[in-house]
Amino acid sequence: MNAMKVAITDYEYETISAERAVLEAAGIECSDFQCKTEEDVIRQAVGCDGLIVQYAPITARVIAALERCRVIVRYGIGVDNVDVAAATAKGIFVCNVPDYGVEDVANHAFAFLLALAKKIPQQQAQMHSGGWGYAEIKPITRLSCCTLGLLGFGRIPQQVCIRAKAFGMKVIAFDIYQVPVISEQLDIPYVEMDELLAQSDFISVHAPAVDGGALISAENIAKMKDGVVVINTSRGTNVDEAALLAALESGKVRAAGLDVYADEPATNAALYSHPMVSCTPHIGAATVEAQKRIGQEIVEIIAAM
């Protein structure tokens, strides 16, 4: 019997090397690539029995070309870059690792919230330039006087909610899929989108990539409070970056915390270098503990096929 062949389509040595070693020790043949396009995936993975993917586009066209593939494992939360319907129709098992970085991404989102409420990035920049004093960076916000709106209310925002309530914040949530028992347990009301936009002092985005355009669009920004803070640790396409930049320039949006971008690595320098933007390079789940867990789960899934 021939060894199972697995293609790693978005190879990053630091995050997958240990898992690759375990798979190879189990007799599974691994190949690693940096696939950015459909053509890349088709060329590199067409003869493989399984795929480990992160951001590579696994479209219906790609799936049609996969002659032997039995399993596609998304190295992360969500499967929005995989055409699940096309894969299922072809008998390919698709899965992800939904729980591995919940705590870590929630902490990252709340770290943005704390830093932007206290204007820590701006205070640091002031001191780096030789400045000193409150006048240059006021106002600073007390969280217990603020409302946090969560766009999406899955596992990660539920953890953000717990942290926000510990700081005395009022929290409201919008989600197209409502689970009343969770809302009741956490004592958080579901509201309509427009109500959340109008009431929130901080808005944190926790939705998968959605059809029909960005959630943080020019139209929705116009419905927000003046001086709102926007945080995105979900998917870069959930924010219209041009609209957000314009709102930062006008002051409609006071500040933003961004871990994800429409293009990655990020190319919109005007946005990520803006003085009122706190930004990180898509590392919300990048803790030692989370990476160890996701690696273990992926190995178990592939080895069981």
Where in the sequence numbering do the catalytic residues fall? 235, 264, 282
Task: For residue 42, give the H/E element and its range.
Answer: helix 38-45
Strand boundaries in 64-161, DSSP class E: 71-74, 93-95, 147-151
C-alpha 204/C-alpha 256 separation (Å) is 10
| CA torsion through residues 177, 180, 184, 189, sign | positive
Kindly report the backbone phi and psi dihedral angles of residue 50, in degrees, each rounded to the nearest multiple of 5, phi listed first: -155, 155
C-alpha 116/C-alpha 248 separation (Å) is 13
C-alpha triplet 121, 113, 270: angle, nearest 5°: 50
> Nearest to residue 117, comparing CAs of 163, 49, 72?
163
Tokens of 78: 């969500």
Distance of CA 74 to the CA centre of its chain: 14
Tokens of 136: 């240059």
> Nearest to residue 294, comparing CAs of 148, 34, 105?
105
C-alpha 267/C-alpha 272 separation (Å) is 9
- Residue 282's region, left for phi above 0, alpha for psi from -120 to 50, else beta, is left
C-alpha triplet 176, 182, 187: angle, nearest 5°: 105
C-alpha 170/C-alpha 168 separation (Å) is 7
